Chains A and B, each alone.
Chain A
Amino acid sequence: MIRTSLPTRFLPFFSNASQRNEGRRLRTGLLVVAAAVLAVLLANTTQAQDKNMKKMLMQLQEMNQADGYLEAHRDVENPPELLGGPLSFAVEQNSGGVLVGLPDQRELDSDVFGTPEMPLAFTGTPGVTGVPVPFREVENGQFTQLDRPTPFGNKSTAMPSGSMMLKAQDVTATDAATTEDQVKFKASWEDKQGNTYAVRCCEMLSAAGPEFPTFGGVVTNHLLHGFSGVGTPLMPTEYTYAAFWGMGAVLKNGEVVDKPRVVHGMLTEYVRTEGYELASDSEVTPTRKHFHLMVAPFMPVKGEHKFEHNNVSTGFQLPNGKELPFWHVMFENLNIESQRGE
């Protein structure tokens, strides 16, 4: 029961091994009195640790670096337009497969995360805008990898019959209370058994981001992720030709299985390397593009400018029998069109 003192929203990504071990230790301790006393002591320590961790994570959320910027923008009723006017674009994949990201521990790039002595990118909701230092593994004075799996790593699986269609307009330049941006998005793919998975967006666009800027819901020709402070630093810093954030739906075999969900899509330079490993900043390929679809295991907290952990119901079973708690899907056979104007 010790674990429950830390609400799930403060256990970002997935539970980690050390918490499971503590539960086991407690059960064994109940067998003899001496062990029971030990267990009580242990429980107290763990409770104190959990309390400290909870406090630290709340502090990290509160000291999110984009708060001031967003505060200045989120109530603007007449936001400015893009320099040069609106941009319209379409991105399509008509056939072929997709590559689906699986839970993995992200290698930590020192360009993005600094060093244990001089850490970077640790504020905000863990996984959404920052990665707390205690979640990072250290070897020889350097961060090596995250101590828990996330949607951002080297593991993936190919799935057949992938198609996607994005038609969008970037009109509004900055975050604001309203937006003129527009997005029509649908994507689908299949598993080996012939089940169809799909994501649709957007019934609503993120006119202003809760924790990082979303530029009216659609952004074009911008740097995202990595050191940029826009989106998770667990993805490398990547030039993004177009991206959107909005509320959409997750479907399996034509039925909605999760709604509303934050859906994020982006057309970027190529950030995978040999073996489809996720690139570090120095490994990005600027001359190739791919499209990423992300339905992350996070939801915005109503009335507060932060996110909380919340697994996606995907209906897709992992080899270990658990449900994949997010969709991170890459489309790489693309037709792209764009033009100035609406």
Chain B
Amino acid sequence: MSLLWPTRIGRLAPQFLGSAGLLVLWMGALATPAVAQTSEEPAVTIGMTNTLSFTKDTVRVEVGETVRWENSSVIVHTVTADSEEATMEESMRLPEGAAPFHSGNLAPDETFEYTFETPGRYRYFCVPHEAAMRATVIVEPAGKG
């Protein structure tokens, strides 16, 4: 079962178990936490740095694949493609029909995953560093590779 919605995963085990437990409740399923935790390996991992950048400027994935962002810095960052959060037109862009996403604040060492279901070009940014910190994910139709 793949996670079709954004997840914020702390490195700390209790936090992780907490979010997995919530997930189970939310689904109303009797599945064990192990099921909720099963997530596809991310197709690509992108770091977030002390110099206010995403480590990969542009990445390409296929529909259904997951991208993982890792806050490898000491600064709080976000991964955001949501017009509610943007203050500058150039900081984000979503393909037609794609849902917005926003990680919320990611403390140092926290990660965020998002599985892309709509092909196209996604431009995203970090909320507090919107003026400096932006990058792109290009999602191609499945089965191309």
A residues contacting B by CB (< 8 A) are: 95-99, 157-161, 270, 272-276, 285, 287-288, 290, 332-334
Extra inter-chain contacts (8) besides given A96-B107, A285-B131, A287-B130, CB under 8 Å:
A96-B105, A97-B75, A157-B50, A158-B50, A272-B52, A274-B132, A275-B132, A332-B129
Neighbour of A160 across the interface among B74, B87, B130, B132, CB < 8 A: B74
Contacts of A332 in B (CB 8 A): 75-76, 128-129
Residue of B nearest to A95 (CB): B107
Let me know if A273 and B131 touch, CB within 8 A: yes
B residues contacting A by CB (< 8 A) are: 50-53, 73-76, 87-88, 105, 107-108, 128-132
Let me know if A333 and B128 touch, CB within 8 A: yes
Let me know if B128 and A288 touch, CB within 8 A: yes
Contacts of A333 in B (CB 8 A): 75-76, 105, 128
Let me know if A270 and B131 touch, CB within 8 A: yes
Interface residue SS majority, chain B: loop
Let me know if B131 and A96 touch, CB within 8 A: no
Let me know if A159 and B132 touch, CB within 8 A: no
Q: List 16 A-B contacts (CB under 8 A).
A: A96-B107, A97-B74, A97-B75, A97-B108, A99-B75, A157-B50, A158-B75, A161-B74, A270-B131, A273-B131, A276-B132, A287-B88, A287-B130, A288-B87, A288-B130, A334-B128
Let me know if B51 and A275 touch, CB within 8 A: yes
Residue of B nearest to A271 (CB): B131
Residue of A nearest to B131 (CB): A285
Contacts of B51 in A (CB 8 A): 158, 275-276
Contact A97 B132, CB 8 Å, known A158-B50, A160-B108, A275-B51? no
Min CB–CB distance A277 → chain B (angstroms): 8
